[in-house]
Chains A and B, each alone.
Chain A
């Protein structure tokens, strides 16, 4: 079956521009996570959605970052006024429920801010 998909796979933008990154979770998965991975670093938690509950935004690094999840499925991570330090791979993962042990990751979006 289809796994988690993310688009675009690569995004190059200029400093100050806004970008939108998309995540399509596995069908039926109610929990969705966004992570950021800078070059040579581990994964940094950004935000978590579970069903219709209020998202856990505790990992968002600044108010330039926001995310939505429409209809409990597709999620969009938006970065406004991008900075060079935003350059990273942005990973999305989904699970069938919040207590599920295994997270299923997408291939990531590599964002480069010039």
Chain B
């Protein structure tokens, strides 16, 4: 059972920041937020994860609200190669399953 809600699709102009929202209002205190993306016809690729602090790596930034009920993945300068489906995932506190949901289809427009 997916524990996250994401918009079905979004567009972003090339070179602009892409901000992908995710709601996870039932997240537990020890559950992490993960982001993966899936480029067409490939397996998903890990992007970033966080618990409550904002995180940044070479691919993206993750902003988690103080109440942890929502988060935003930021791609600072979107390129055409960032066109993909982006999955926001809350990892259960027990077991090791990742519930991917249906994600947000991001299209970067030239």
Query: Which B residue's beta carbon lies closest to that of A47?
Result: B97
**CB-based contact A42/B43 at 8 Å:** no
* Minimal beta-carbon separation of A38 from chain B (angstroms): 11
Of B2, B34, B100, most A-chain CB atoms within 10 Å: B100
Interface residues of A (CB under 8 A from B): 4, 31, 33, 35, 41-45, 48, 50, 56, 58-59, 91, 93, 98-99, 101-108
Of B36, B46, B96, B102, most A-chain CB atoms within 10 Å: B96
Measured in the bound complex, the distance between the Cα atoms of B44 and A11 in whole Å is 21
Q: Contacts A93-B43, A101-B34 hold; do A45 and B103 have CB atoms under 8 A apart?
A: no
Query: Which A residue's beta carbon lies closest to that of B6?
Result: A42
Partner of B97, one of A59, A99, A106, A107: A59
Chain A residues with CB under 8 A of B98: 33, 43, 45, 103
- A selection of 20 A-B contacts at a CB cut-off of 8 Å is A4-B43, A42-B2, A42-B103, A44-B100, A45-B97, A48-B95, A48-B97, A50-B96, A59-B97, A91-B44, A93-B43, A98-B96, A99-B96, A101-B32, A101-B34, A101-B49, A103-B98, A104-B46, A105-B45, A108-B43
